[in-house]
Amino acid sequence: MPLYNAEVYLTETLESILSQSFRDFELIISDNASTDRTQEICRYYASKDSRIRYYRNQENLGATKNFNRVFELSVGEYFKWAAYDDPCAPEYLQLCVEALDQNPDRIMAYPRTILINAQGGVIEYHDDAYELLSPRPHLRFRKYFYSSAWCHPVFGLIRRAVLEKTGLIGNYASSDKVLLGELAILGKTYEVPQHLAYRRIHPQISTVVNKTDEDMAAWFDPQARGKVMAPRWRRFIELIKVIARAGIPPTDKFLCYLELARFYLSPQRLTGVGKDVRQIGRVITRPLTKPRNRLRNK
């Protein structure tokens, strides 16, 4: 559980995790230098339950480093990221563990999701329709491209040995989506048919607070503020790298490259790339106006 200033929903989520019917797990919490009551709440629960390991960063490292830090600290056979504001049903871990234990060819299992509001009221019973069970990597990769825009499956249960081979969460916007693409190439994903995960929609979620590409990039990596974002180009380049490093036969790699090209050459994608080009142009011309502003300020 990577978190920052999580006091509002943290207690409810911790209670839901500690109440899982499957009990053989450790909960690793990495606190990104929270300034609210997050530390107090975490230390209280850690004192009550020995399964909790609480770590606190001296400064806010950004979401990328904090997400990857909890993975690096883990030792279990399976791994799951947990969001501080998204509780889960008691059977979540048990059914996902069973789905992977009984099927060695599956690398990830996730349940269907219930969207809830800030108060916990149900908004929608959501189906990501992200089950990828084809034996062919390029067919799983194709379905990945046309699945739901939500990234709920990235919070599913993943074989640690497989996740270790990936680029994990990158320091750029939508790197969680890229990670799902890499996992799609590497193995099968199973959707548990029950609605066991809750996704809370509230005013403080990252996609609401960070309204621009630049803001979202800085949320992932504070060092990225002010730099050229070009998020669509970045995702395209990262997906090329994903295919290149995948341990699959050359023919399957070639077919995956074709799926990538087919998706990014669609009219909708090309419009997004045009947006990236305009953004790059604004960043390049920005320094031309700075000297005059600085002289005026003096």
The domain covering 2-209 belongs, at the CATH homologous superfamily level, to Spore Coat Polysaccharide Biosynthesis Protein SpsA; Chain A (3.90.550.10)
Q: So what's the pLDDT on residue 229? A: 62
Give the model confidence (pLDDT) of 120-154 as tens digits: 999 999 989 999 999 999 999 999 998 866 889 99
Two structure tokens written together for 47: 């004192």
To the question of pTM greater than 0.85 for the whole model, the response is yes
Give how far Cα 282 sits from Cα of 37, 76, 290, Å: 40, 46, 13
Among candidate residues 139, 26, 42, 20, the one with its CA nearest the CA of residue 90: 20
Instruction: Count CA atoms within 13 Å of residue 233 on its CB side.
Output: 11
Rounded distance between C-alpha atoms, residue 214 and residue 212, angstroms: 5
Give the model confidence (pLDDT) of 237-260 as tens digits: 999 999 999 999 999 999 999 999
CA angle 22, 23, 27 (to 5 degrees): 115
Among candidate residues 193, 164, 168, the one with its CA nearest the CA of residue 178: 168
CA dihedral in degrees (53, 57, 62, 66; nearest 10)? -20
Domains of the chain by residue range: 2-209, 213-297
Contacts of 198 (CB under 8 A, 6+ apart): 86, 87, 88, 89, 113, 114, 115, 116
